[in-house]
């Protein structure tokens, strides 16, 4: 069933899907992969969209993608077109990208620049704060312009990261604390003085949760990621009990330098939803290029040390990131259907860096293009096997796959909690 067909499902189908999801998540075996319908059933997918992607804070993009007044990006969250635009005060606003006349999408391009937001259908015009400025002369006496401004969505920006929440009431959590930490940890990078160098979009034939699960472990790295392993150390945490002494020594040496330069690095977690940690890369390497040497001649922000490792930022449900000394890479996951997911990767460099002089795009993107494609195949094969009538949930390794366990626990707990409070959303 396609997402469009889902619109035709009756309310009782939806109630049944909610009841089934609740049962599957309540009865799931902790530490095991989820049951098949949660990975491939269009009804369960609808629940994911309503209870996760329309309820939680989502990573959308970076503030430096829209540096000037009128710059905008658009993002499709399932069937919800979203518009993010910078206004005349420099503030970033998020709106539902749907006209208050008869609902046309206002902006259809992925990014652009406008003076005002003009609907392509009948030219209703809104300012950059969503106020309706013009609706022609034919709307009649009773028509109130003030009642027809764009519907806004909650929007928060920290450390250059733009987050949007489509729910009426964003989830109560430690999100504020995470944003404050993000501001502090991103300070050295001076995101406002960065620019998007290049981006890629992959459509993976896999449920979004398989894309996230795959990202949350490096059990598969040795067998699948030769390019990434030129620089990446498999540990995802400085306190990983499996980490050998030579890693701990290397980390201690790097951390001493980072401390001397006032570069934040300590692991911080905010529930299971968000975490930040700076991890060293392999000894002698600086950034995730094929040879481990610089990708861009200009370092970011106030950074002087090429060897800042990679600051990893996790934001469930839809982002992981690698912040390095001379470029950073952000990843955004958006579900399309039960078995299709869009993964967008964006590489940022210093805004004054000149392509072909300071950086070469092919060199910059090589490792993560290869890695993303390898991960795409892994997620797609995972999906195909899960679709088998023989599939049953299998056990995660508590040492190698703790990140996956954390993700699946977060997902299950969030969906159950959100389903229980559906009426308040
Ligand atoms: O580097 C990442 O983004 C994740 C974490 C470990 C494996 N995977 C490639
Ligand atoms: Fe936008 Fe008519 S739908 S102006
Ligand atoms: Fe991978």
Q: Is the CB of 213 under 6 A from ligand 1?
A: no
Separation of CA 95 and ligand 1 centre (Å): 32
Per-residue pLDDT, 307? 97
Q: Is the CB of 282 under 6 A from ligand 2?
A: no
The atom number, within ligand 2, closest to the CA of 99 reads 1
Long-range contacts of 117-124 (CB under 8 A, 24+ apart): 117/83, 117/85, 117/150, 124/99, 124/100, 124/148
pLDDT tens-digit profile of 388-406? 999 999 999 999 999 999 9
Percentage of the chain exceeding pLDDT 90: 92
pLDDT tens-digit profile of 41-69? 999 999 999 999 999 999 999 999 999 99
Percentage of the chain exceeding pLDDT 70: 97
Q: What are phi and psi of 379, to 5 degrees?
A: -65, -40
> Residue 194 in 3-state DSSP?
strand
The atom number, within ligand 1, closest to the CA of 322 reads 3
Separation of CA 215 and ligand 1 centre (Å): 5
What's the gap between Cα 322 and its chain centre? 12
Q: Is the CB of 218 under 6 A from ligand 1?
A: yes
Instruction: For ligand 1, atom 9, name the residue with the nearest CA.
Output: 215
- Residue 16 has, within 13 A of its CA and on its CB side, a CA count of 8
Per-residue pLDDT, 326? 98
Kindly tell me if the per-residue pLDDT of 76 is higher than 70.
yes
User: Does the bond joining 317 to the residue before it have cis omega, within 30 degrees of 0?
Assistant: yes
Q: Is the CB of 181 under 6 A from ligand 1?
A: no
What is the token pair recorded at 255? Answer: 């951390």
Mutate which of 214, 218, 220 to test ligand 1's pocket (most atoms within 8 Å of Cβ)? 218
Which of 46, 50, 48 lies closest to 5, judged by CA? 46
CA distances from 154 to 138, 157, 162, 213 (A): 32, 10, 11, 27
**Region 265-271 average pLDDT:** 96
Q: Is the CB of 121 under 6 A from ligand 2?
A: yes
Kindly tell me if the per-residue pLDDT of 98 is higher than 90.
yes
Instruction: For ligand 1, atom 2, name the residue with the nearest CA.
Output: 215
The atom number, within ligand 1, closest to the CA of 331 reads 3
Mutate which of 220, 232, 372 to test ligand 1's pocket (most atoms within 8 Å of Cβ)? 232
Per-residue pLDDT, 9? 62
Separation of CA 14 and ligand 1 centre (Å): 35
Separation of CA 229 and ligand 3 centre (Å): 10
Q: Is the CB of 199 under 6 A from ligand 1?
A: no
**Region 20-43 average pLDDT:** 97
Separation of CA 291 and ligand 3 centre (Å): 19
pLDDT tens-digit profile of 153-189? 999 999 999 999 999 999 987 899 999 999 999 999 9
């Amino acid at each position: 069933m396609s997402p469009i067909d889902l619109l035709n499902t009756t309310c009782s189908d939806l109630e049944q899907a909610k009841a089934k999801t609740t049962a599957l998540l309540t009865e799931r075996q902790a530490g095991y992969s989820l049951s098949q319908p949660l990975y491939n059933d269009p009804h369960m997918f609808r629940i994911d969209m309503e209870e996760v992607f329309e309820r939680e804070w989502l990573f959308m993009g970076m503030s430096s993608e829209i540096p000037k007044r009128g710059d905008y990006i658009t993002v499709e969250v399932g069937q919800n077109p979203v518009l993010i635009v910078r206004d005349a005060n420099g503030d970033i606003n998020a709106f539902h990208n749907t006209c208050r006349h008869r609902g046309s999408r206002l902006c259809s391009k992925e990014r652009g620049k406008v003076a005002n937001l003009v609907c392509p259908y009948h030219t209703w015009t809104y300012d950059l704060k969503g106020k309706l400025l013009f609706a022609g002369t034919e709307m009649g006496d009773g028509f109130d312009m003030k009642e027809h401004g764009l519907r806004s969505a909650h929007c928060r920006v920290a450390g250059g990261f733009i987050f949007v929440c489509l729910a009426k009431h964003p989830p109560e959590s430690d999100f504020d604390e995470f944003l404050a930490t993000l501001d502090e940890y991103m300070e050295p990078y001076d995101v406002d003085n960065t620019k998007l160098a290049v981006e890629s979009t992959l459509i993976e034939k896999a449920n979004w949760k398989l894309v996230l699960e795959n990202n949350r472990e490096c059990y598969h790295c040795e067998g699948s990621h030769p390019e990434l392993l030129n620089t990446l150390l498999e540990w995802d945490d400085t306190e990983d009990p499996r980490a050998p002494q030579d890693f701990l020594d290397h980390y201690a040496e790097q951390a001493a330098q980072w401390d001397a330069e006032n570069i934040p690095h300590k692991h911080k977690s905010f529930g299971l939803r968000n975490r930040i940690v700076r991890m060293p890369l392999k000894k002698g390497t600086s950034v995730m290029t094929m040879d481990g040497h610089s990708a861009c001649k200009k370092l970011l922000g106030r950074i002087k040390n090429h060897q800042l490792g990679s600051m990893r930022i996790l934001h469930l449900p839809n982002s992981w990131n690698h912040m390095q000394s001379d470029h950073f890479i952000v990843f955004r996951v958006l579900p399309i259907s039960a078995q299709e997911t869009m993964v967008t990767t964006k590489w940022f460099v210093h805004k004054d860096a000149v392509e072909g002089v300071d950086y070469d795009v092919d060199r910059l993107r090589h490792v993560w293009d290869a890695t993303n494609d390898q991960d795409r195949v892994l997620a797609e094969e995972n999906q195909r096997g899960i679709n088998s009538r023989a599939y049953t949930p299998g056990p995660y390794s508590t040492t190698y796959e703790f990140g996956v366990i954390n993700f699946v626990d977060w997902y299950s707990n969030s969906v159950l909690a959100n389903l229980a409070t559906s009426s308040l959303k």
